Amino acid sequence: MKKVILSACLLAFLSVLFAQNRNEVLFSVGNDKVTVSEFIGTFTKNNSLSNATESELRDYLNLFINFKLKVRDGLDTQIDTLLPFKKELASYKSQSAQSYLVDKEVTDKLMQEAIERSKEMVRASHILLMCEPDVSPKDSLAVFNKIMDIRKRIMAKEFTFPEAAVLYSEDPSAHDEVGLRGMKQFGNKGDLGYFHAFDLIYPFESAAYITPVGTISMPVRSRFGYHIIWVQDKQPAISKIDIGQILLIDSAAQFGRISPAVMEKLALIENAIKEGEDFEELAAQYTEDPSSKKNNGKVDPFMPNRRPGDFVKVCLSLEKNQISEPFSSIVGWHIVKLHNLEVPELKPEDQKYALSTKIQRDTRSNLSVESFLEKLKKEYRFSEKGKDAMFKLLLKNLSDKKTLPTETELLALPGVSKLKPVAIFANQTITPQDFIKYLGRFFDVNLKQSVITFLEMHYQNFIKENIITYEFENLENKYPEFQELMNEYKYGMILFEMNNEKVWSEALKDTLGLENFYEEMKFNYLDITENPKPLSEVRSIVLTDFQNKLEDAWLSLLRERYQVWINEELFNSLLKNK
């Protein structure tokens, strides 16, 4: 028992000792010090410490020292201060920071939501009443009440949804139009056909996916205005529809009728199909669709959102190789043969990557940013005690203006200089002058909406910009792993630029040096007769060896310039305790 206790104590002691050693300096290059922790962290990214031999660790130590020497040389030559270098590093930080500037919980919920919605597609119609995002609350309420009244009248069966769309919708696609050549173009009566997640704006998509089939949603606000949505159908998601068709053009079809000549031809085709004649041969003979006639009626595979809803619905109702009954469209009469319904087939990891990209590019990502912003406000004890006084002064001076004055004119308004700070967070103070300078971006903008709405909208964006910018600029201080990521990329860039300058490009430019090197080393490049191969035959091999020579010479020079010190005792203890 005593031996067990003694062994446990010894093990605990060694663990503490090793933990302390991890913070000790393993080696230095000039004034740059590298701890055991940094060395192990770098080594174990691609290697196993427990399985490493002494020779492998020693080789890696030398490689790491060489890396530090080259980076130090680059820093001393200030290669990291060059504009192209700074631009690339800033671009990398901007990309890498995105995952730190959102609410991860909200982002995860958006991802799960997108995964579920990607399993299904929706067919819906809508009625839109236009309403700008920045109108006054009074004007917005008036539009809301109007569309609510339309909804009530549809529910009361005063008219159908398509009839109401033609009468009231402000979406131009709902109405018939006369084209440039005087040809009548028929509207969709509000029918948007089938669509998938990310096909339409997020508020509309969300309402469509949660509204049961056969029902009409409550009004939905988007940047365009207010919508009511009639969900007609929901089906498993289809990425492409592959069909063949016979089309008979008939102007009467748009009214649900059929002309005698087309009726006769349709009857002839139907009878031939029933008697087992080949569909493709019939299509080649009868179809009036110029784009598919040359392919025996085969239509290029299309996404469901590229065809009218009624057309897609017929395709979805068919089994593979089944032929439909004749049906009409605004063009004419169709008979369709289904070849295939292609379903999305992505590996889970590929699907997540694709959806993540879509989420980042879509307005729904704002939900995650807004949630993150609220958390930052709490973390940094955000306060805006000076906002009301500033708004009061600005409203007093802008209420009769038709356009926004210049920044200089706004700063000169009586009382601006006496206003207290608008907001405070972290160690930052935001002044009224800061907000006015921000408003200067919108000089001469038309104040068609209420001034209070204009100010409130831009104030919220201004505060958001300040807090997110502060967080972005302090990511390295707040998150050690982000600082490590940025350092890795920066030092990698320095290493590349220095290798390119001192070795790769130099070897390509120094043609005389390459030829002299070959003459010196040509007996290393022998043919089967034991004679040196000509330089033209072994140039790529010689070039690599010449680059190695240049690199060795450069490293020798660096070791003379920067003192390299290794804590051998600590390195040996690392070998014993790994």
pLDDT tier for residue 544 given thresholds of 50, 70 and 90: very high
Does residue 1 carry a pLDDT above 80? no
SS3 480: helix
Check if the beta carbon of residue 224 is closer than 8 Å to that of residue 150. no
* H or E element, residue 225: strand 225-236
Average pLDDT over the chain reads 92
DSSP label at 318?
S
Check if the beta carbon of residue 420 is closer than 8 Å to that of residue 385. yes
Q: What is the pLDDT of residue 182?
A: 64
Tell me the percentage of the chain whose pLDDT exceeds 90. Answer: 82
pLDDT digits 0-9 by tens, 369-422: 999 999 999 999 999 999 999 999 999 999 888 889 999 999 999 999 999 999
Apex CA 122: angle with CA 118 and CA 125, to 5°?
A: 145
Does residue 18 carry a pLDDT above 50? no
State how far Cα 31 lies from the chain centre.
Answer: 41
Check if the beta carbon of residue 553 is closer than 8 Å to that of residue 561. no
pLDDT digits 0-9 by tens, 341-378: 999 888 888 899 999 999 999 999 999 999 999 999 99
Check if the beta carbon of residue 312 is closer than 8 Å to that of residue 193. yes
Q: What is the pLDDT of residue 15?
A: 44
Strands 332-342 and 240-249: antiparallel
State how far Cα 411 lies from the chain centre.
Answer: 39
Q: What is the CA radius of gyration of the chain?
A: 36
pLDDT digits 0-9 by tens, 473-515: 999 999 999 999 999 999 999 999 999 999 999 999 999 999 9
Does residue 4 carry a pLDDT above 50? no
Any idea which residue has 């988007």 for tokens? 222
* H or E element, residue 394: helix 387-398
Report the distance separating Cα 429 and Cα 421, nearest Å.
7
Please tell me which residue, 350 or 114, carries the higher pLDDT value: 114
Q: What is the pLDDT of residue 2?
A: 41
What average pLDDT does range 137-163 have in this prediction? Answer: 96
Report the distance separating Cα 84 and Cα 99, nearest Å.
25
DSSP label at 500?
I
Report the distance separating Cα 196 and Cα 178, nearest Å.
30
Q: Which residues pair with 424 in a beta bridge?
A: 383, 429
Q: What is the pLDDT of residue 185?
A: 79
Q: What is the pLDDT of residue 21?
A: 66
Does residue 130 carry a pLDDT above 70? yes
pLDDT tier for residue 136 given thresholds of 50, 70 and 90: confident
Widest distance between CA atoms in the chain: 107
Which phi and psi (to 5°) does residue 110 adopt? -65, -40
Does residue 58 carry a pLDDT above 80? yes
Does residue 329 carry a pLDDT above 70? yes
Q: What is the pLDDT of residue 128?
A: 98
Please tell me which residue, 61 or 7, carries the higher pLDDT value: 61
Report the distance separating Cα 363 and Cα 198, nearest Å.
10
Does residue 206 carry a pLDDT above 80? yes
Domains in the chain, ordered, with CATH?
119-236 (3.10.50.40), 240-342 (3.10.50.40), 380-475 (no CATH), 480-562 (no CATH)
Neighbour tally for 502: CB within 10 Å: 21
Strand order in the sheet with 240-249: 240-249, 332-342, 327-328
Q: What is the pLDDT of residue 576?
A: 78
Report the distance separating Cα 443 and Cα 461, nearest Å.
16
Q: What is the pLDDT of residue 518?
A: 96
Instruction: Flag the least confident range among 296-305, 424-433, 444-453, 534-543.
Output: 444-453
User: What per-residue string of b and e applies to 413-424 under the rule 16 or more CB within 10 Å gives b?
Assistant: beebeebebbbb
Does residue 8 carry a pLDDT above 70? no
Which phi and psi (to 5°) does residue 322 adopt? -80, 145
Long-range interactions of 485-494: CB distance < 8 A, separation 24+: 485/96, 486/89, 486/92, 486/93, 486/96, 489/89, 489/92, 489/96, 490/80, 490/89, 491/67, 491/71, 493/80, 493/85, 493/88, 493/89, 494/70, 494/71, 494/74, 494/75, 494/79, 494/80
pLDDT digits 0-9 by tens, 508-532: 999 999 999 999 999 999 998 999 9
Does residue 269 carry a pLDDT above 80? yes
Q: What is the pLDDT of residue 180?
A: 64
Any idea which residue has 């003379």 for tokens? 560
Q: What is the pLDDT of residue 444?
A: 80
Structure tokens given for 269: 């085709």
Q: What is the pLDDT of residue 99?
A: 92
Q: What is the pLDDT of residue 224?
A: 96
What average pLDDT does range 90-119 have in this prediction? Answer: 96
Q: What is the pLDDT of residue 9?
A: 40
What average pLDDT does range 62-86 have in this prediction? Answer: 97
Question: Half-sphere exposure of 404 toward its Cβ, with a 13 Å CA cutoff?
Answer: 25
pLDDT tier for residue 137 given thresholds of 50, 70 and 90: confident
Q: What is the pLDDT of residue 265?
A: 94
Instruction: Flag the least confident range among 44-53, 236-245, 283-292, 444-453.
Output: 444-453
Check if the beta carbon of residue 566 is closer than 8 Å to that of residue 26. yes
Q: Which residues pair with 130 in a beta bridge?
A: 225
